Amino acid sequence: MTDATSIRLLTLNCWGIPYISKNRSARMNAIAEKLADGEYDIVCLQEVWSVDDFKMLKAKAQECLPYSHYFYSGVLGSGICILSRYQIQDVMFHRWPLNGYVHKIHHGDWFGGKGIGLCRLKIKNIKVNIYVAHLHAEYDRENDEYTAHRVLQAFDTAQFIRMTKGGSDVVILGGDLNTEPQDLAYRIICGIGELTDACTNSSCFNQGTNECATNSYTGSNFARKKPEGHRIDHILYLGSSRYKVEVTDFKQPFPNRVPGKNFSYSDHEAIAATLKMTKGHYEVQEVDVRDSLKEALVICEAALVSIHRRRMWYLLLSLFLLILLILPLLLHLLLDQNSIAVTIALNVLRFLLTAVLCYTLFMSSIWNNVEKNSLKAGYLAMEMHLVQLNRNLANT
């Protein structure tokens, strides 16, 4: 008889933005009650933007999930955390260099300081690395301005897992990856990270986790266009030379509505998987990611061209604003210098123009260089990985 150990893992994007997310307090309490049922051994949560919400979730689930860790980062906190039945032995957080745009306040990804979190556990002498991540959101599927950011985050995630999994018996990644199975970012994470999707059959493979028609927060347009929604939340895993991993159950465990309420637990669906770990050699699925890396390099090249174009535009705008700043001085000389109203109006105009000028200069210099250097760093890392893959293939 084989000695096997099973763990039940759940991941959920909680949509917990203070003052913005609808029914946040009631939903968070409902999520906490579900976690307190004791059905899960490990829970990966995203968009827990309020530390008070995390403390409440931790307190309510304390009896069955006594160990937890919140990954602090950025201005608002990363929003990601892990709750566990098993003791957390070590933690680490890697913040992605590219995290959206600081001036896109309404998107807010940059302020979260997003990245990938790692908690190391020991489950019956099995060393398990639990990773949680929340990649940059896709705000416009038709014209996505964050494609390069998400692709580099995906590569960074896969590289981080590759370089920290040493010594572990089992690797598990849970989170809102904001990428579907056919997308480039998903292919990079699974291919380079050598990860397998816990969704093992066609019935769940096409079952969405966001913008589903059954979710109360899905707009009618999205519900009509694609009722099944988009599968962007994932549980991925990897065994080792010492332990095999098998999926024995995969499901969306939460009901469509919070009991007694007319709203869902979140605008995302929770997913849960039961993973059975047994002693033995895990066969890694060989995936050729060279074409995916080439596609990613093309996207980065286009992004670098776009960055240069934006820099030139901001510089031209800065020059135009400088000219406008000189005009009030001339007007002040030509108009009645004793007029208080004229003086106040010109000073207000001068202040506004100076503020906009500071913004354009910041965007054309400091911010432009930050984004450009981050893209170049990611580009070179992917290029090096591609060269190594080609070299390995040539030697076989």
CA distance 141 to 2: 47
> Which residues contact residue 1 at a Cβ distance below 8 angstroms, ignoring those fewer than 6 apart?
none
Same domain, 156 and 296: no
Same domain, 269 and 378: no
Same domain, 314 and 226: no
Q: Which of 134, 136, 268, 385 is catalytic?
A: 268
Q: What is the pLDDT of residue 203?
A: 62
Same domain, 252 and 317: no
> Looking at the predicted structure, is the pLDDT value of residue 61 above 80?
yes
Q: Which two tokens stand for residue 80?
A: 């990601």
The answer to the question of residue 285 being in a domain is: no
Count: domains in the chain: 2
Share of the chain above pLDDT 90, in %: 74
Could you tell me whether strands 67-70 and 81-84 are parallel, antiparallel, or unpaired per DSSP bridges?
Answer: antiparallel
Across the chain, mean pLDDT equals 91
Q: Say whether pTM exceeds 0.75.
A: yes
The answer to the question of residue 284 being in a domain is: no
Q: What is the pLDDT of residue 21?
A: 94
Alpha carbon of 38 to those of 28, 41, 384: distances in Å?
17, 8, 45
Write the pLDDT tens digit of every residue in 318-350: 999 888 887 766 666 666 556 677 677 777 888
Give the pLDDT band of residue 197 (cuts 50, 70, 90). Answer: very high
The answer to the question of residue 26 being in a domain is: yes
CB burial of residue 215 (10 Å; 0-12, 13-18, 19+)? buried
Same domain, 256 and 337: no
Same domain, 323 and 376: yes
Q: What is the pLDDT of residue 145?
A: 84
CB burial of residue 379 (10 Å; 0-12, 13-18, 19+)? buried
> Looking at the predicted structure, is the pLDDT value of residue 2 above 90?
no
Determine which of 81-90, 126-135, 138-147 has the lowest per-residue pLDDT on average. Answer: 138-147
Same domain, 252 and 168: yes
Same domain, 34 and 165: yes
Domain that holds residue 243: 4-279
In the three-class reduction of DSSP (H, G, I as helix; E, B as strand; rest coil), residue 57 is classed as helix
Average pLDDT over residues 168-196: 96
Q: Are 204 and 234 in contact (CB under 8 A)?
A: no
Alpha carbon of 348 to those of 200, 322, 330, 353, 354: distances in Å?
63, 15, 15, 9, 10
Last residue of a domain, one of 254, 279, 304: 279
Q: What is the pLDDT of residue 331?
A: 62
Higher pLDDT, 293 or 334: 293
Last residue of a domain, one of 224, 254, 279: 279
Q: What is the pLDDT of residue 169?
A: 97
The answer to whether 268 is a known catalytic residue is yes
Q: What is the pLDDT of residue 1?
A: 43
Q: Which residue has the tokens 């949509």?
A: 15
